[in-house]
Amino acid sequence: TSSSDTFIRAELISFARDPGDGNTPEPGSLEHYGDGLLWLKGQHIHAVGHFAELSPSLPKGADVLNYRDKLIMPGFIDTHVHYVQLDIMASYGRQLLDWLNDYTFPEECRFANHAHAEALSNAFLDEMLRAGTTTAQVFGSSHPGSVDAFFTACQKRQLRMLVGKVLMDRNAPEALMDGVSGIADSERLIEDWHGNGRLGYSVTPRFAPTSTKTQMDAAGALLRNDPTLWLQTHLAENSGELDWVAELFPGSRDYLAVYEEAGLVGPRSTFAHGIHLDNGMRKRLADRGANIAFCPSSNLFLGSGLFDREAAKQTGMTYTFASDIGAGTDLSGFGTLKAAYQVGQLGGQPLTAWQGFYGLTMGNAKALSLDSHIGQLAPSLEADFVVIDTQATSLLSRRINHCTTLGERLFALMMLADDRAIYETWAGGQCQHRRDK
Ligand code: GUN
Ligand code: ZN
């Protein structure tokens, strides 16, 4: 033991694997310690277990943080979010294509200014940590400096983050289009940042309508050249978008084929939305091991449609949970799960709390191929976790105290909790955020 050891006594909840769709988690999937001990060594988790079982092995005089009235879970993960859109959340009344033109593109132009990119990177990370999110896959703007600023801000806080510069060489304002420099700038960012500590690069063609075939092919070449890179883009979100893609790519049999032909569909690829897909496309995504980022608050806000989780399950297609700020209305993982439950109800497929919290942690980590680092409270994983205060508000406290089972408590949290319930957020073994009293 050394001064780098931290001991926390709290209720601990984590998932070793998918709990299934039942009302109770499948045996071996849930790890729950009502009176648990989380033992950190430096940036990693050293041991996890029942306090009574682990306490004999604690060093004499160990300083144990007493969080017995709190609930600790792995840090929440957001697989699709635009940090550059923080300031245009809640922009009224448009569906996707008008929303992009009227609000999004003008806002993203501001990131040519490096001071602005730095300020927004820090503001965004403050909000993420306040909401209990420790890892995200993030869109910058098309300016490479927006990604330098973001990585720099993440590095200061020891966060595990994926981000990429938007590639966009047509059908966008002049000031946002990159042309041939887009790929060279991506290569430079990969060289500087990919695999640097906890940071990773996600190749980021915005979506098929704003990249030429040439640019998408070049993005595919980057991925072939380095299979440790991630890929993020958008797919089949909105009906106007579908018509536009069909018009722009008459030779491709469907929207997904456009990405397949460029070599963009693989096990490290995340496609945001995937609402308007058929089972053939879902199976093709499943075969390649790609995932769809389900962004329920965004889909409701832009009126895009209802994601079909049941079809995903039937076809073996992996889906993840994401906020999609600035079209999303909630940075909080709780808020994302609440919206996912509501979308599910409209399709006769209500989301269980087990699926929800598994998804937000281990499920999202696995889909991003990050589960050997994060997503679970387990020895040797990185010490990224949230300390949840289930008594944060009088209403939450009343409701939680009315629950008799863990499943009910988690469901009440998923529907009623927000950033006020995040007491602390830890990353890399250190407390990075503590709620104001
Ligand atoms: N499709 C292309 N760009 C975007 C974006 O910024 N947000 C969303 N929700 N969909 C997109
Ligand atoms: Zn998006």
Q: How far is the CA of 234 from the centre of ligand 2 (A)?
A: 6
Closest CA to 329 of 312, 347, 342, 311: 342
Q: For tokens 């993440």, name the residue.
A: 154
Residue with CA closest to ligand 1 atom 1: 234
Compute, in angstroms, the gap from residue 295 CA to the centroid of ligand 2. Answer: 8
Using one digit for the tens of pLDDT, what is the confidence trace for 206-226?
Answer: 999 999 999 999 999 999 999
For residue 237, the ligand closest to its alpha carbon is 1
271 CA distance to ligand 1 centroid (A)? 11
What is the share, in percent, of the chain residues with pLDDT greater than 90?
99
Does residue 123 have a pLDDT over 70?
Answer: yes
Domain 77-367 sits in CATH at: 3.20.20.140
What six digits make up the tokens of 165?
């510069």
ipTM above 0.90, yes or no: yes
Report the nearest atom of ligand 1 relative to the CA of 237: 10
CA of residue 333 relative to chain centroid, distance? 9
Distance 93 CA to ligand 2 centre (A): 17
Contact, 117 vs 111, CB < 8 A?
A: yes
Which two structure tokens, joined as six digits, stand for 5? 């050891």
Substitution site in 84, 146, 237 for ligand 1 pocket (most atoms within 8 Å of beta carbon): 237
Question: Tokens 């640097």 map to which residue?
Answer: 196
**pLDDT tens string 322-374:** 999 999 999 999 999 999 999 999 999 999 999 999 999 999 999 999 999 99
Alpha helix stretches (DSSP H) within 238-378:
239-248, 255-261, 279-288, 296-301, 309-315, 333-346, 353-358, 364-367
Nearest atom in ligand 1 to the alpha carbon of residue 327 is 9
Ligand 1: atom nearest CA of 324 is 9
CA–CA dist 13, 75 (Å, integer): 11
Preceding amide of 326 cis, omega within 30: yes
Q: How confident is the model at residue 4 (pLDDT cuts 50, 70, 90)?
A: confident
Ligand 1 centroid to Cα of residue 71, in Å, is 35
pLDDT digits (tens, 9 = 90+) for 69-96: 999 999 999 999 999 999 999 999 999 9
Q: How far is CA 229 from CA 136, 164, 368, in A?
A: 15, 10, 11
Nearest to 10 by CA among 53, 83, 66: 66
Written as one letter, the residue type at 77 is: I
Residue nearest to atom 3 of ligand 1 (CA): 206
How many CA atoms are closer than 13 Å to the CA of 330, on its beta-carbon side? 24
> Which tokens go with 10?
């709290």
pLDDT of residue 1: 47
Residue ranges per domain, the chain?
5-75+375-434, 77-367
Pick the CATH number of 5-75+375-434 from 1.10.600.10, 2.30.40.10, 3.40.30.10, 2.40.30.10: 2.30.40.10
User: Which residue's CA is minimally distant from atom 9 of ligand 1?
Assistant: 327
Q: What is the pLDDT of residue 437?
A: 72
Give the binding-site residues of ligand 1, using a 6 Å CB cut-off: 82, 96, 100, 104, 206-207, 234, 237, 298, 324, 327
Task: Report how far residue 282's alpha carbon sits from residue 307's, in angstroms, rounded to the nearest whole number.
Answer: 12
| Residue 168 · residue 210 · CB < 8 Å | yes
Report the pLDDT value the prediction gives residue 98, as an integer from 0 to 100. Answer: 97
Q: In angstroms, what is the span from residue 359 Cα to ligand 1's centroid?
A: 22
Residue whose Cα lies nearest atom 11 of ligand 1: it is 234
| Mean pLDDT across 108-130 | 98
The ligand that comes nearest to the alpha carbon of residue 96 is: 1
Distance from the alpha carbon of residue 171 to the mean position of ligand 2, in angstroms: 17
Residue 331 corresponds to which tokens in the numbers above?
């940075």
Return the best residue to mutate from 104, 166, 168 for the ligand 1 pocket (most ligand atoms within 8 A of CB): 104
CB atoms inside a 10 Å sphere around CB 297: 25
Query: Is the per-residue pLDDT at 45 higher than 70?
Result: yes
CA of 139 to the centre of ligand 1 (A): 10
The SS3 of residue 217 is helix
Ligand 2 centroid, distance to 183 Cα (angstroms): 20
Residue reference for tokens 């629950």:
403
Q: Which atom of ligand 1 is nearest to the CA of 207?
A: 2
At 377 the three-state DSSP class reads coil
Quote the tokens at residue 295.
Answer: 């962004």
Residue with tokens 């030779």: 251
Separation of alpha carbons 335 and 83, rounded Å: 17
414 neighbors 360 (Cβ within 8 angstroms): no
CA-proximal residue: ligand 1, atom 5 (nearest) = 100
- pLDDT (0 to 100) of residue 436: 87
- Confidence grade of residue 2 (pLDDT, cut at 50, 70, 90): low
Query: End-to-end CA distance of the chain, in Å?
Result: 32
Taking the CA of 298 as reference, the closest ligand is 1
332's CB contacts (< 8 A; 6+ apart) are 131, 132, 133, 323, 417, 418, 419
Cα radius of gyration rounded to whole Å, the chain: 21
Predicted local distance difference test score (pLDDT) of residue 133: 98
**Average model confidence (pLDDT) across the chain:** 97
Spacing of C-alpha 71 from chain mean position:
21
